[in-house]
Amino acid sequence: MAPEGLFLPGEEVIMASVKVEKLEKVYPNGFKALHGIDLQIADGEFMVVVGPSGCAKSTLLRLIAGLEEVTSGTITIGDRVVNDLDPKDRRIAMVFQNYALYPHMTAYENMAFALKLAKLPRAEIDARVREAAAKLEIEGLLDRKPKDMSGGQRQRVAVGRAIVRKPDVFLFDEPLSNLDAKLRVSMRARLVQLHRELKAGGQRAAMVYVTHDQVEAMTMGDRITVMKDGRIMQTDTPMALYERPANKFVAGFIGSPAMNIHRAGLKRIGDQVVVAVSGQEWALAPAQAARVLASWPADGEEVWFGIRPDSIDLAGPGGEQAGLCGEISLVERTGGEAYCYFRVNGDEYVARLEGSRAGQLQPGDVGQFRVKVDEGHVFSGAGGTNISLPAV
């Protein structure tokens, strides 16, 4: 996918803070981790890089940080190509998964360390550390050593250590994955808030945040880059990714529960396009049909049809809409809503229902479901490209 333009909602055009061009990484053992990555991150942008493990998202981060050598391509931070710069000279800061705090130093010393190495005046160091500590509400921890702190506290110190350096770019490498679920949710919000505060305070720091957790990605990122096997699948805002996944992979990766994607056949009947899936035949909406017709798959009619759980609902009393009928295997009730799993002709589906509508549904019942076909996506059978997307 071509990178999106650098227009952020409600902001003027700004310079790219991080620009990655044709970046390749080949390890000495011959393994090619990155296959020519292009990515631009704007000043002050919160970019989340997400993907399953092994997709080389961390490698990308480490290359930006300078912890690993670039095989080919360029990395630009600000206006400088940093390929050959030491990490300390790249004006970046990084927060690690295990926080990597120096065990023998207090929180204060940990935060001050980089500044001390950079030979900043003592007063300046003190001011910066105290400012960051106030921001993170860890003033009370400054004299403690890492072993005397909880995971969440260490995490905040690690973030504080990054903040005090006032870098152009913050790099986060799965910083929340060592925390328990509840803490993770609150830290998530806190980081987003922090980002906002930093920007408000005049720092236009970009953030590159690597995670495997799509919920984190969706909730935190200004934009998200989805990666797979060393390639970028799509880069866009969270809602755009959700509503307009560029391909089957992104469609399946983003969103929880995942999109229902099943093998499907395509039939052209005049201007109409009919998709045959799970034994049902549904006509696509005219606009959708036109787009599918425009990029009719070369390899025949075998495609994938994807429909989000949100787009499936219990059928009302009128029965004329496209529908599915299947035996319910499981109903997960979370209070406000319920996930209803059912099976149609061997294909598993999940529907997201409002809690009240799930009503008395029980496993074993046969449910009648209504499908909003116009919210569905058609992916080509071979490449998995979304052929039902409106051209941008």
Q: Tell me which residues touch other proteins (CB under 8 A).
A: 62, 65-67, 86-88, 92-94, 96-98, 100-105, 113-114, 117-118, 161
| CA separation for the pair 95, 143 (Å, rounded) | 20
Of 161 and 195, nearer to other proteins (C-beta) is 161
Of 62 and 244, nearer to other proteins (C-beta) is 62
Distance of closest approach, residue 154 Cβ to other proteins, in angstroms: 12
Distance of closest approach, residue 62 Cβ to other proteins, in angstroms: 8
- The alpha carbon of 33 is separated from its chain's Cα centroid by a whole number of angstroms, namely 19
Helix (H) or strand (E) holding 294: helix 286-294
Distance of closest approach, residue 114 Cβ to other proteins, in angstroms: 4
Of 98 and 193, nearer to other proteins (C-beta) is 98
Q: Are the C-beta atoms of residues 100 and 94 closer than 8 Å to each other? A: no
Return the biggest CA–CA distance within the chain: 77
Q: Are the C-beta atoms of residues 94 and 173 closer than 8 Å to each other? A: yes
| CA separation for the pair 282, 273 (Å, rounded) | 8
Q: Are the C-beta atoms of residues 275 and 269 closer than 8 Å to each other? A: no
Of 6 and 114, nearer to other proteins (C-beta) is 114
Distance of closest approach, residue 59 Cβ to other proteins, in angstroms: 13
Q: Shortest CA distance to 371 belongs to which of 347, 387, 355, 390?
A: 347
Q: Are the C-beta atoms of residues 306 and 381 closer than 8 Å to each other? A: no
- The alpha carbon of 218 is separated from its chain's Cα centroid by a whole number of angstroms, namely 5
Distance of closest approach, residue 373 Cβ to other proteins, in angstroms: 48
Of 158 and 198, nearer to other proteins (C-beta) is 158
Distance of closest approach, residue 61 Cβ to other proteins, in angstroms: 11
Q: Shortest CA distance to 226 belongs to which of 55, 36, 42?
A: 55
Torsion of the alpha carbons at 28, 32, 34 and 35, rounded to the nearest 10: 130
Of 45 and 174, nearer to other proteins (C-beta) is 174
Which residues are within 8 A (CB) of 331 and not within 5 positions of it... i.e. 6 or more apart?
A: 338, 339, 340, 341, 358, 361, 362, 363
Of 41 and 328, nearer to other proteins (C-beta) is 41
Secondary structure (3-state) at 263:
strand
Q: Are the C-beta atoms of residues 273 and 293 closer than 8 Å to each other? A: yes
Of 118 and 189, nearer to other proteins (C-beta) is 118
Distance of closest approach, residue 53 Cβ to other proteins, in angstroms: 17
Quick one: tokens of 220? Answer: 């935190």
Distance of closest approach, residue 29 Cβ to other proteins, in angstroms: 12
Of 62 and 195, nearer to other proteins (C-beta) is 62
Distances in Å between the Cα of 325 and the Cα atoms of 61, 249, 338, 342 are 46, 27, 18, 9
